[in-house]
Amino acid sequence: MCLPFAKCLVTHSLTHSLTPYNPRMQCNIDHRGRRARLISGIICLIIAVVLLALRAIGTLDGAWPWIVGAALIPIGAFQIYEARKGWCVMRAMGFKTPM
């Protein structure tokens, strides 16, 4: 059975799974950049969880742990997304990143 969207699917080289093809999000970082974004994304998520947990149990006071923790979650998730797709938003906008 042929799916109507089958011709817009391509095989992703890293995961060997079918992902939708988006010509605007072409791979623009190498393996080193992917690794750096993955590691920094995981670190951001770990720091966010630690901050939120410490604030929840009352070790840290004030609103700053909630704010910083809530900000680090989408930041870390987006860095992991960039690592998985091999695409950097800064490079896509024309900035030259050192990695």
Is residue 6 predicted with pLDDT exceeding 60? no
Is residue 82 predicted with pLDDT exceeding 60? yes
Lowest mean pLDDT among 10-14, 60-64, 67-71: 10-14
Please give the pLDDT value at position 3: 42
Lowest mean pLDDT among 56-60, 67-71, 73-77, 87-91: 87-91
- Provide the pLDDT confidence category of residue 89 given band limits of 50, 70 and 90: confident
Instruction: Identify the residue with better confidence: 50 or 1.
Output: 50
CB 25 within 8 A of CB 91: no
CA 40 to chain centre: 9
